[in-house]
Amino acid sequence: MVAVMGIAERKVRERESMKAKILNAAFKLFLDHGIENVSIRNIAERIEFSPGTIYLYYRDKDQIFFELYNLAFGRFYEEQQKLQPIQDPYDRLYQGCQQYIRWGLANPKLYDLMFIVEIPMNVIAREECEDIGRRSFDLLRQTVTECIEKGKLRIKDVELGSTMIWNMLHGIVSLIIKRRILVPEETVEGMVSAMLDNFLLLLKR
């Protein structure tokens, strides 16, 4: 009886480790060769299992992509959270924005998955998917709230202000990532920080 329980637990562990194995292979393929080269067959080859096996652990490809999505958001959230200790809310806002852009440009594939690509969820997870996003957005909202409370912004509505800031940041990052910005490569960095500085200056009371 005890042995039976031990086996059941081991099986759970084995299942988890197999899921992780698949996910790691998918993540590696994703980082190394782009989302377009993450195929079930490629993953299977990487972990030396047959393609069919993967469907014993994940319902479909979208579910794998959703896991990658969460992974990416986890990393992003972690970085943003590091700035929480900063006392002055405007300073925290500024650094948060700067880090958002930096992180996005440094991790274009992750950013793509998080904010640009068609959401890879056929059935479930629409809410769960928003939850992880909302957690990150809440960090910004909190900071904006404090800024407004201390009268540091020319905007009074928290929801409006947070969304505006986020949209601006996303516009900058996504257009650069997707190579739609017409400015020459070398001058991008300068342009970006100039835009951020000017935008936050406009916002500042």
| Nearer of residues 125 and 169 to DNA, judged by Cβ | 125
Among 15, 101, 29, 16, which residue's Cα sits nearest to residue 65? 29
The least distance separating DNA from the CB of residue 6, rounded to whole angstroms, comes to 9
Distance, in Å, from the CA atom of 178 to the CA atom of 156, rounded to the nearest integer, reads 33
> Distance of alpha carbon 71 from its chain centroid, rounded?
7
Residues 6+ apart with CB under 8 A from 137: 162, 166
The answer to whether residue 193 forms part of the interface with a copy of itself (CB under 8 A) is: no
Q: Which of 56, 116, 160, 194 binds DNA (CB under 7 A)?
A: 56
Rounded CA separation 184/202 (Å) = 26
Closer to a copy of itself by Cβ: residue 149 or 157: 157
Q: How far is CA 29 from each of CA 17, 34, 68, rounded to the nearest angstrom?
A: 18, 7, 11
Residue 36 CB, nearest distance to DNA (Å)?
A: 9
Judged by CB under 7 A, does residue 60 bind DNA? yes
Residue 66 in contact with a copy of itself, rule: CB under 8 A? no
Smallest separation (angstroms) from a copy of itself to the CB of 163: 6
Q: Can you tell me which of 130, 149, 150, 189 binds a copy of itself, judged by CB under 8 A?
A: 130
DSSP secondary-structure letter at 186?
Answer: G
Per CB under 8 A, 119 contacts a copy of itself: yes
Nearest to 145 by CA among 123, 125, 122, 165: 165
The residues binding a copy of itself (CB under 8 A) are 115-119, 130, 133-134, 137, 154-155, 157, 159-160, 163-164, 166-172, 174-175, 178-183, 191, 194-195, 198-199, 202-203
